[in-house]
Amino acid sequence: MELVCPAGNFPSMKAAVTHGADAVYLGFKDETNARNFSGLNFNDSKLDKSLAFARDHNVKIFIAINTYPQPSTWHKWQYAIDKAADLGVNAVIVADMGVMDYAANKHPGLHIHLSVQGSATNHEALSFYHRNFNIKRAVIPRVLSLTQVSKLTQTSPVDLEVFAFGSLCIMAEGRCHLSSYITGESPNMSGVCSPAKSVSWKNTGDVLESRLNNVLIDRYAEDEHAGYPTLCKGRFEVNGNTYHALEEPTSLNTLSVLPQLHEIGVKALKIEGRQRSPAYIAQVVQVWREAIDQYKQQPEQFKERSAWKQALDKVSEGTQTTLGAYSRPWQ
């Protein structure tokens, strides 16, 4: 299985590459990618050095062009595809069918991976994208159980990539507009959920308040870990009780089902986190590299080490992890 790791900037790319990534994914410095945060992504001056570093270490390069263009800005997505093709990257990660059509016709040799933002969760959808745009791989949304992923691998006409570790999203990816309720911007259109310009923090006595476009999202006591304010992970008062009504801050961790993911035919494991620090990337990638290598060497004796779990718990949201939708015993 290929280990696909995030690179939000050059230090993060170096951390991913030197700690064991098989491939890195990154975005251009504009709204064509779904992590369009200030201070992230790559402009022309950084690209050549970054791509050369990855190639020197035999690491594949994927460019995320995975947001949905509007008619007035269509040329930006065309330019992004053209640039990726000129750079000779291993693949582009695309969600929008118009962008895929442009890439398939203008650059037939360019490999296309269907982004998780494309929300393909069944054989018919994957066959459609393969038939019409010749996609080589699809990133599966984090809404399917392990049983459902297994069935999908048996019939899929393309390789499947699944999220292995990182932030969870309660929405079906590619269909989330919740953040635009407060900020007017959604990850699908603007490439960012909870844009930094809308985020503010304020200390009130011993309590830290986080706000999004001046709307209170959460309050944290001194002994609580403060998370980045997103609407879906805020605390709300419901029927007199204040709690995480939509989703608790937690991270996906599939390390315990690594053997099953391999056995059912998953081709790539994806680490979420282009917005994370280089130290975070280094820690997570190192753990997953060790785990995959150990499984390859002794598949029958593979067991999740407590040290791996402890290391991943420390860098997870809310310092806790979950199998998410992968675990549905009732199925």
Domain ranges of the chain: 2-168+250-326, 180-243
Tell me what percent of the residues of the chain surpass a pLDDT of 90: 66
pLDDT at 35 over 90: no
Q: What integer pLDDT is reported at residue 175 of this predicted model? A: 67
Check pLDDT > 80 for residue 330: no
Which residues share a beta bridge with 4? 23, 270
- Flag whether pLDDT at 34 surpasses 90: no
Average pLDDT over residues 235-258: 86
Which range among 61-70, 96-105, 169-178, 253-262 shows the weakest confidence by mean pLDDT? 169-178
Q: How far apart are the first and last CA of the chain?
A: 26
pLDDT confidence of residue 16:
98
Q: Is 173's pLDDT higher than 70?
A: no
Q: Which residues pair with 238 in a beta bridge?
A: 241
Q: What is the pLDDT of residue 284?
A: 97
Of residues 60 and 248, more confidently modeled: 60
Tokens 């504009």 -> residue: 30
Q: What is the pLDDT of residue 187?
A: 74
For 91, 115, 156, 161, 179, the CA distances from 138, given in Å and listed in that order, are: 12, 6, 9, 6, 25
The architecture in CATH of the region 2-168+250-326 reads Alpha-Beta Barrel (3.20)
* Block residue for tokens 């961790």: 253
* CB-count exposure of residue 262 (10 Å: 0-12, 13-18, 19+): middle
pLDDT cut 70: percent of the chain above it: 96
Each residue's pLDDT tens digit, 186-207: 777 777 778 888 899 999 888 9
Query: How many whole angstroms separate alpha carbon 289 and alpha carbon 293?
Result: 6
Task: Give, for 269, the enclosing helix (H) or strand (E).
Answer: strand 268-271
The strand order across the sheet containing 199-204 reads 199-204, 207-212, 215-220
**Mean pLDDT, the chain, whole residue set:** 90
Residue 136 exposure: Cα atoms within 13 Å on the Cβ side: 15
| C-alpha–C-alpha distance, residues 207 and 209, integer Å | 6
Facing residues of 200 across strands? Answer: 211
Question: What's 9's DSSP letter?
Answer: S
- 170 confidence band (pLDDT: 50, 70, 90): low
In what helix (H) or strand (E) does residue 85 lie, and over which residues does it extend? helix 74-87
Q: What is the pLDDT of residue 36?
A: 82
In a 3-state reduction of DSSP, which class is residue 112?
Answer: strand
Query: Does residue 290 have a pLDDT over 80?
Result: yes
Q: How confident is the model at residue 115, as a pLDDT?
A: 96
CA 50 vs. chain centroid, Å, equals 20
Q: Cα 287 to chain center, whole Å?
A: 18
Which is higher by pLDDT, 145 or 111? 111
Amino acid type, 230: T
Higher pLDDT, 305 or 175: 305
Stronger pLDDT, 188 or 300, i.e. the higher one: 300
Residue whose token pair is 């745009």:
133
pLDDT confidence bin for 231, thresholds 50/70/90? confident
In angstroms, the CA 12 to CA 323 distance is: 25
Tokens 């199998």 correspond to: 323
DSSP for 157-175?
A: SSEEEEEEEEE--SS-TT-
Q: What is the pLDDT of residue 1?
A: 94
